[in-house]
Chain A
């Protein structure tokens, strides 16, 4: 079945440092979504990318969808303690647009 892997599993940075998580799908995706889950919380939708090579920004967060639509990345510039959490990418299953397969997640820890 479809697999979505993320690296790294965990990253610990000092506040102010940059952070990047990478997402790779075993199949071509029609779109990619990103979610953030704070410790003890629930996943919260951040953004959806649809086009090959698409880049979107949300303040300090930059999201990119690969040209082949099989990979994606999330880059955070100058991390803050409020960025702490687990970041998941998710892609729709082949032929079932509304059913998502979630990536393994990257847990980000930010310290002062």
Chain B
């Protein structure tokens, strides 16, 4: 089991550019979560999916953020256009209901 796989590990982009973060959950897990971590705000839930369906996107900061899960093995988080305040570590996590989260290694995003 390779765990939750995120790509890229690091992303540096210029303000205004589109950024796409990718996540492959653990096979068989029925929930997928996108979190953002910063020193100031800690771990914030952005959105989560159950069986590929978005359940709660109330944590998505604004319309510049969007997330999709076209199938059980892939999800994307897109920021368009990116801004410096979006700089953070973005984590994807998956679970089988009733068990602890398995987090990916994260994507460290820097917007300059």
With A43-B43, A88-B43 known to touch, is A98 a contact of B105 (CB < 8 Å)?
Answer: no
A-B contact count (CB 8 A): 46
With A42-B106, A43-B43 known to touch, is A100 a contact of B101 (CB < 8 Å)?
Answer: yes
**Which of A20-55 touch B at CB < 8 Å?**
33, 35, 41-48
CB of A105 within 8 A of chain B?
A: yes
**Which of A54-112 touch B at CB < 8 Å?**
88, 90, 96-102, 104-105
Name the contact of B91 in the complex, choosing from A42, A48, A96, A105 (C-beta under 8 A).
Answer: A42
Interface size on A, residues (CB 8 A): 21
Give the chain A neighbours of B71 by CB distance below 8 A.
Answer: none
Name the contact of A96 in the complex, choosing from B56, B100, B106 (C-beta under 8 A).
Answer: B56
- B58 (CB) vs chain A CBs: closest residue: A1
Which of A33, A44, A96, A99 has the most chain B CB within a 10 Å cutoff?
A99
Interface size on B, residues (CB 8 A): 22
CB of B72 within 8 A of chain A?
A: no
CB of B21 within 8 A of chain A?
A: no
Task: Tell me the smallest distance from the CB of A35 to a CB of chain B, in Å.
Answer: 7
Give the chain A neighbours of B31 by CB distance below 8 A.
Answer: 98
Query: A45, B97: Cβ atoms under 8 Å?
Result: no
Query: A35, B42: Cβ atoms under 8 Å?
Result: no
Q: Which of B's residues lie within 8 Å of A, judged by CB?
A: 31, 33, 42-43, 45, 48, 50, 55-56, 91, 93, 95, 97-106
- Name 7 extra pairs, CB < 8 A, besides A42-B91, A48-B100, A88-B43: A35-B100, A43-B101, A48-B99, A96-B56, A99-B33, A99-B45, A105-B43
